A and B are shown apart, each in its own frame.
Chain A
Amino acid sequence: MHAAQILVNAVVLGCLYACIAIGFSLVWGVLNVINLIHGSFIVLGAYLAFGLYNALHISPWYSIAVAAPLFFVLGYLLQRLLLNRVITAPVLVTLTMTFGLDLILNNAMIYFFKADYRKLTLTPSLGSVSIFDVVVPVDRLIATVAALALTGLLYLLLRRSRVGRAIVAVRLDRDAAVLMGVDVKSIYAIAFGLGAALAGCAGVLMALIFPISPLTSSGYLGKAFVVCVLGGLGSVSGALAGGLLLALVEGIGSTFFGPAHATTLSFILLIIFLILRPQGLLGRKGFE
């Protein structure tokens, strides 16, 4: 039953990891930008949920509906006004740029929210369910379902909507998309906005499970890196596969080597994957 518990934990965590990584993967795939602000966006989303719950008693489930449009606008404007100016520059410039923006946002969060660790505690607590010996807290379960729903929603958006098809077209071949009449600039901004919105929503879900502090942003970012590389860049199914694999490796790794080595293990796995299979588990060019 121990193995079953590890497996269930991995599935729960894996879906959350996928949700963390999917916005990052979208931005990397479509804009070709490694978006280092992603981690801070997640933390900001967590603070939003924390603030709304403590001040107005708005349940985090509804906070998602607030976070999504708010972060979309934030991301859209950030891309349009700042990132768009350097979008054609080499990776060194875009990466350093997002690092600079991340420093600003993170510093602002430390200043306004302090670096203390906080926790969103639902009252009354939702308790946990247990089937045989496998125990899963209900809030985690709901967060997992919500993460899956968000992932599915992005999949549908990219697959069915006009904007989604345009995003996929830009990802596949930017020049051809321009020739077909796609407004690449606005698609870039929309994709970045979507990435930010997904980060904000992921942050709301994280607030339910993990402690909140500006200092946790680099941890989330690291997870997004690993998930993207493991699963393969720029596809929804790749992010899911990467998230599940990472959670499984971390779960098994911390059982056998102790939790302190889980992060080391995941980054070593990342480097091995980069060298041997840079296209990831489900790697192929294209976004659905």
Chain B
Amino acid sequence: MTRSNIALLVLLAVVASLPLFGGAYALRLGTMACMYAILALSWNVVGGFAGYPSFATAAFFGFGAYTTGVLLGKGLPLWLGVVIAAVAALLMSAVLGAALLRLRGHYFAIASLSLVEVLRELVNNATDLTGGGMGLNIPLVSGSGVLAEAMFFFYAMWILLLLTALMVMAVAGSKLGFGLACIRQNETASSMVGLNTTLYKSIAFGLSACFVSAAGGVYAAWVHYIDPSDVFDILYSVKPIVMALMGGLGSPLGVACGAFLYLGLEEVVWRNYIQFHSGVLGLIIVLLLLFLPHGLISLRPANLWRKAKHV
């Protein structure tokens, strides 16, 4: 257990104590924070560890939201719906990954972007099952009060985040994580020395999909109504990347911090500049990439000092 992993667990424990201090608004923000952290940490497995520029996060998020939504409509309990969504996404992404992950660089980016479009259009057109463009109403899970429900979904999302964080740590410390780092550095060389790159990449893609899908499922039950343009929004693919870049690519602690910081920025922008919120997000992206390409983690005092010594 490295120091930064312990710091991440402490951070999560602090987040879990949020209901002690805040009301319904704080709980909503906390739920969003956990969701964003799940998306960013999951993306980090394939984007940060393996270095594949995946834009498919929105595809799996929407897939999970719709799978869970439809299953809840059929009367299944929430936990079962979420588990089925996660397992289905794991299988689907592992199979898709085996094909898509043979592409590299720009071609992989385009293919993963297209995956979002394909799933969105399929859901849009399968009106009988999903309600199509009219969206899908999802039955209330519990009949209890507003605050109790907010609390329930906060902890549901938090537990999912904890599981995601444990998964990411386990991957980072295992042979799988080492293999992914090799793939990132030089894929051809790592396959030359006997690494089964296709298998490793498919596992990474599958792991990054299943927690996102589960988060989508909890989100769907939480907001009670989803439609294709909402859950298959390409922003769900880009935001995790921005969070990861903000915090520092590849470091789980940095990525989680990036997600929380991003949510804070987003909330401030939404509250004050509703008409410019996507423009401000664009501005943040541009400034971040120009001036802080290695994320906040590069601002550690040690790094600054070391840099100063060279100058």
Q: Which positions 77-104 of chain A face chain B at CB distance < 8 Å?
A: 82, 85-86, 89-93, 95-97, 99-104
Q: Which of the 9-residue segments B21-29, B108-116, B175-183 touches chain A?
A: B108-116
Cβ contact within 8 Å between A86 and B282:
no
Chain B residues whose C-beta falls within 8 Å of the C-beta of A267 in the assembled complex: 114, 117-118, 121
Using Cβ atoms and an 8 Å threshold, which residues of chain A touch B105?
A: 90-91
Complex contact B282–A93 (CB within 8 A): no
Closest chain-A Cβ to B129's Cβ sits at a distance in Å of: 15
The residue on B at minimum CB distance from A108 is B279
Interface string of B267-281 (1 = CB under 8 A from A): 000000001111101
Query: Interface 1/0s, chain A 196-233, versus B by CB < 8 A?
Result: 00000000000000000000001000100100010000
Check if B111 sits within 8 Å of A96, measured CB to CB. no
Contact B285 A96 (CB under 8 A): yes
Q: How far is the CA of A100 from the CA of B290 in the complex (A)?
A: 12
> Which B residues are CB-close (under 8 A) to A85?
290
- Choose among A32, A86, A91, A111 the residue with the greatest number of B CB atoms under 10 Å from its CB: A91
B interface footprint on A236-265 (CB within 8 Å = 1, 0 otherwise) = 000000000000000000000000110110
B residues near A270, Cβ cutoff 8 Å: 110-111, 114
- Known contacts being A96-B241, A100-B285, A104-B283, is A275 close to B290, with CB within 8 Å? no
Is A107's CB within 8 Å of the partner chain B? Answer: yes
**Contacts of A93 on B, CB cut-off 8 Å?**
245, 289, 293
* A104 partner residues in chain B, CB cutoff 8 A: 279, 282-283, 286
A96-B106 Cα distance, complex, nearest whole Å: 12
A281 to chain B, nearest CB (A): 15
Inter-chain contact A111/B106, CB cutoff 8 Å: no
- B109 touching A101, Cβ below 8 Å: no
Any chain A CB within 8 A of the CB of B53?
A: yes
Q: At the interface, yes or no: A268 with Cβ under 8 Å from chain B?
A: yes
- B107 contacts partner chain A, Cβ-Cβ < 8 Å: yes
The minimal Cβ–Cβ distance linking B180 to chain A, given in whole angstroms, is 15
- Inter-chain contact A103/B53, CB cutoff 8 Å: no
| Chain B contacts for A28, CB-based, 8 A | 106
Which 8 pairs show the lowest CB-CB distances between chains A and B? A100-B285, A103-B282, A107-B279, A104-B282, A264-B121, A92-B53, A100-B282, A100-B286
